[in-house]
């Protein structure tokens, strides 16, 4: 998924000579697209300004010059937009995302000169392979407790061309929960790589051994057994395609069991500790990515100490695997709640985040892609590189299989 980073300049134009009691001020956001999109119509683009304290939102369509104007109350804000542009000649779908955080509208700001505030515009083309569904909240077991060992990830070919799973990798970005900012966040910015937590996995194959036809999906299970036989509220994953499992796992652990017959095994290409007993993607809100290692084998990449790092504030802590942003094919940012939404995936991969409103372990719901259209009988799922727009909560599609 080729990405480009352009600039979005946020310009504050204060109305001047405001009285002390005034609680509103004006704001203009200017979207500066690259030259190749100079003739693109800006007027359908809607920019959202959200008060991060009370959730109040203001929306504004851009004018012909790409400027969105607001009149908003004093407070703390974030601005965002998403726009899809189809090249009628090539048929390529370009997706633009923009996000600007930590906007302060106050009387003090009005006394200062207007200053351009840069914001990235992220442009990407629609991905062929996407994460269509992520079920990790679990259900209520027979004992009345949360049962989360039935987690799975569903990968989907969202294009009209055959895709190949060979050598595609799956990882979980640290930290494992979104309650606190990432340890890799420096001066409000994430690094140019994604630090993977605990383990990294790869599909087998040498190039074209494992095709995925248009509209086909592949399910990778945390524990590929028939969980429904143990807990009626759960799911039968004995027919999953793959499992996050290796012979090196400690079989005394109750967290994961050997996959059912016929389920293929993912290859564990890296793990931070040899004593790790399972891939810990169950229960809490994870940030998951699909990626491909470029120019070398997975074994060579993970063996290079330059590709392993530690958190800046924990020089003697755990190891993390570095994945360059340009290697990422798709990513989804699932967070705990609207209040605990610290991002781990940069906006170049996912400009938003998703949470299940009121969801908790055992709620039995999954993060599922929204359907965009049906093309020649094939479902096309929404892919704007923004989990806030692309995902919704629902019953896991494998619930009744």
DSSP output for 146-195: EE-TT-EEEEEE-SSS-EE-TTEEEEEESSSSSSS--TT-BTTB--SEEE
73 beta partners: 24
Residue 110: per-residue pLDDT: 66
Segment 20-32 shows an average pLDDT of 76
pLDDT tens across 253-267, in order?
556 788 999 999 999
In terms of CATH architecture, what is 3-125?
Answer: Sandwich (2.60)
Segment 12-22 shows an average pLDDT of 43
Other beta carbons within 10 Å of 290: 23
Give the integer Cα–Cα distance in Å for 350 and 289: 10
Number of H helices, E strands in the chain: 3, 28
Is residue 222 classed exposed, middle or buried when 0-12, 13-18 and 19+ CB atoms within 10 A define those classes?
Answer: buried
Question: Which among 308, 290, 395 is positioned nearest to 350, based on CA atoms?
Answer: 290
Determine which of 52-61, 116-125, 166-175, 233-242 has the lowest per-residue pLDDT on average: 116-125
Residue 113: per-residue pLDDT: 34
- What is the three-class DSSP state of 187? coil
Residue 106: per-residue pLDDT: 85
Please give the C-alpha separations between residue 250 and each of 147, 256, 257, 371, in angstroms, as whole numbers. 20, 9, 10, 40
pLDDT tens across 201-220, in order?
999 998 899 999 999 999 99
Segment 370-394 shows an average pLDDT of 92
352, 333 Cβ separation under 8 angstroms: yes
Segment 342-363 shows an average pLDDT of 84
Residue 159: per-residue pLDDT: 86
Domain limits of the chain? 3-125, 129-394
Give the integer Cα–Cα distance in Å for 120 and 130: 23
Question: Mean pLDDT over all residues of the chain?
Answer: 85
Residue 395: per-residue pLDDT: 92
Looking at residue 88, what DSSP letter applies?
Answer: T
83 or 7, higher pLDDT? 83
The separation between the first and the last C-alpha atoms of the chain, rounded to the nearest angstrom, is 32
Residue 20: per-residue pLDDT: 46
Residue 380: per-residue pLDDT: 93
Angle at 343 between CA 381 and CA 245, to 5 degrees: 65
* pLDDT at residue 282 is higher than 80: no
Place 117 in a pLDDT band, splitting at 50, 70 and 90: low
* pLDDT at residue 112 is higher than 60: no
Please give the C-alpha separations between residue 80 and each of 119, 122, 250, 352, in angstroms, as whole numbers. 10, 11, 45, 9
Segment 185-202 shows an average pLDDT of 92
Residue 361: per-residue pLDDT: 74
Q: Is the pTM of this model over 0.85?
A: no
* pLDDT at residue 91 is higher than 50: no
Place 151 in a pLDDT band, splitting at 50, 70 and 90: very high
Is residue 47 classed exposed, middle or buried when 0-12, 13-18 and 19+ CB atoms within 10 A define those classes?
Answer: buried
Segment 57-83 shows an average pLDDT of 90
* pLDDT at residue 17 is higher than 70: no
Residue 313: per-residue pLDDT: 86
Place 18 in a pLDDT band, splitting at 50, 70 and 90: very low
Question: Which among 358, 366, 357 is positioned nearest to 395, based on CA atoms?
Answer: 366
* pLDDT at residue 200 is higher than 50: yes
Segment 17-22 shows an average pLDDT of 45
Residue 359: per-residue pLDDT: 65
Residue 5: per-residue pLDDT: 47
């Amino acid at each position: 998924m080729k990405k480009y980073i352009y600039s979005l300049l946020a310009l504050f134009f204060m109305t001047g000579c405001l009285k002390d009691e005034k609680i509103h001020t004006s704001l203009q956001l200017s979207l500066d697209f690259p030259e190749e999109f100079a003739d693109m119509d800006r007027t359908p683009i809607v920019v959202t300004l959200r008060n991060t304290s009370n959730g109040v939102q203001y929306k504004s369509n851009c004018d012909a010059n790409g400027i969105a104007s607001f009149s908003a109350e004093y407070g703390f804000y974030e601005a965002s937009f998403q726009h899809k542009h189809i090249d009628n000649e090539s048929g390529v779908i370009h997706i633009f995302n923009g996000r600007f955080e930590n906007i302060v509208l106050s009387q003090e700001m009005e006394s200062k000169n207007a200053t351009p505030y840069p914001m990235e515009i992220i442009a990407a083309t629609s991905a062929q392979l996407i994460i269509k569904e992520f079920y990790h909240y679990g259900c209520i077991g027979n004992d009345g407790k949360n049962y989360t060992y039935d987690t799975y990830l569903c990968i989907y070919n969202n294009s009209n061309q055959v895709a190949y799973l060979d050598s595609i990798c799956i990882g979980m970005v640290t930290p494992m929960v979104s309650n606190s900012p990432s340890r890799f966040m420096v001066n409000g910015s994430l690094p140019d790589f994604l630090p993977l937590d605990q383990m990294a996995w790869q599909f087998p194959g040498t190039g074209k051994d494992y095709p995925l036809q248009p509209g086909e999906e592949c399910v990778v299970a945390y524990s590929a057994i028939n969980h429904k036989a143990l807990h009626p509220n759960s799911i039968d994953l004995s027919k999953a395609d793959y499992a996050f499992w290796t012979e090196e796992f400690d079989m005394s652990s109750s967290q994961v069991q050997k996959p059912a017959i016929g389920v293929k095994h993912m290859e564990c290409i890296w793990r931070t500790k040899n004593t790790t007993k399972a891939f810990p993607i169950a229960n809490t809100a994870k940030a998951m990515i699909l990626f491909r290692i470029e120019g070398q084998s997975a074994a060579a990449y993970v063996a290079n100490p330059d590709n392993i790092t530690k958190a800046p504030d924990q020089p003697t802590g755990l190891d993390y695997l570095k994945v360059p942003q340009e290697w990422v094919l798709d990513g989804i940012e699932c967070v705990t709640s609207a209040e605990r939404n610290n991002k781990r995936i940069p906006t170049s991969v996912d400009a938003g985040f998703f949470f299940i409103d009121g969801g908790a372990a055992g709620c039995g719901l999954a993060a599922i892609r929204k359907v965009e259209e049906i093309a020649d009988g094939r479902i096309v799922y929404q892919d704007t590189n923004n989990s806030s727009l692309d995902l919704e909560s629902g019953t896991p599609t494998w619930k009744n299989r």
